[in-house]
Amino acid sequence: MRRLAFILPAVLLVPFGLAAQPVPQGELTSRLVNLPTHLSVGPATLQVVFTHRFSQTADDAGGYDLLGLDSAADIGIGLGLGLGEHVELEIYRSSFLKELEGSVKWTAVRQGSAFPVGMAARVGVDYRGAKGIDERWSAFAQLVVARRIGARLDLFLVPMFASDTPTLENAANVGVGLAYHLPRGWDVAAEAIAENRDARSGTLAWSVALNKRVPGHAFMIYLGNSPATTSDLLAGSDYPGGFREGDVRLGFNLVRRFPE
């Protein structure tokens, strides 16, 4: 994974001599799976996001519990608002640790004929409201670098930093992602976030997903090992209770935008 974190920037940034491929409207939203993309939701647009991660792994659940579908789940709901073409405000709440996340994202560059990459900066705070938590506040920052290769493939590099995660005072990490766009509004997405070397139980977090887009909606079926959906837990790689690299959990994301 660490080698991938060094290789992907070259993939994103080296082919400057090739003609840039503009990103078609609607193929990408402001969120990939758990990581942000470089795009905002759009001017005067309200976006509602639901995330659902089943707590039991498919291996532990087996067929009796339908690969985890009978288990409890970590549920998140978020609201995003576009302010002009380049700024997005978001508030998101996860049932895990009763965590509330507020953020602002600025799309600095949109990939097109004049720019070979897209770039955005996202900053925010997390508040963990569950009982028995000693360190409740965390601040985070993310940089998103995006590159479209050909007509269908988008690549993402997301360096990130968070302060005061559940076990770390400062956590730096890097995430990589891709989205491959298929005909008829289908996408395949994947993400990997490196294990944080400073975390005692740091583990590579991975996910793959199948996404279906229709006007105003996107529905994503998720497979991954980590239940984490908030920025502090992604950067710290120190999800309370831990997870294993070989775990497989089911889940989904549901996105609705008004208007579209």
How does pLDDT run across 203-219, given as a tens digit for each residue? 999 999 999 999 999 99
Three-state secondary-structure class, residue 150: coil
Record the tokens describing residue 192, joined without a space.
């990997």
In the predicted structure, residue 14 carries a pLDDT above the cut 80: no
* Alpha-carbon torsion angle 34, 37, 39, 42, nearest 10: -10
141: CB partners within 8 A, 6+ apart: 121, 122, 123, 160, 161, 162
How does pLDDT run across 221-255, given as a tens digit for each residue? 999 999 999 999 999 999 998 899 999 999 999 99
Query: Closest Cα partner for 105 from 49, 29, 47, 38?
Result: 38
Q: 51 pLDDT band (50/70/90 cuts)?
A: very high
The pLDDT value recorded for residue 18 is 53
Residue type, 142: Q
**HSE-up of 113 (CA within 13 Å, CB side)?**
0
The pLDDT value recorded for residue 136 is 93
- Per-domain residue ranges for the chain? 2-14+48-258
**Cβ(245)–Cβ(233) under 8 Å?**
no
Q: 61 pLDDT band (50/70/90 cuts)?
A: confident
85 or 92, which is more confident: 92
Residue that is written with structure tokens 């002009």 in the block: 84
CATH architecture for segment(s) 2-14+48-258:
Beta Barrel (2.40)
The pLDDT value recorded for residue 135 is 87
Other Cβ atoms within 10 Å of 159 Cβ, number:
16
Three-state secondary-structure class, residue 253: strand
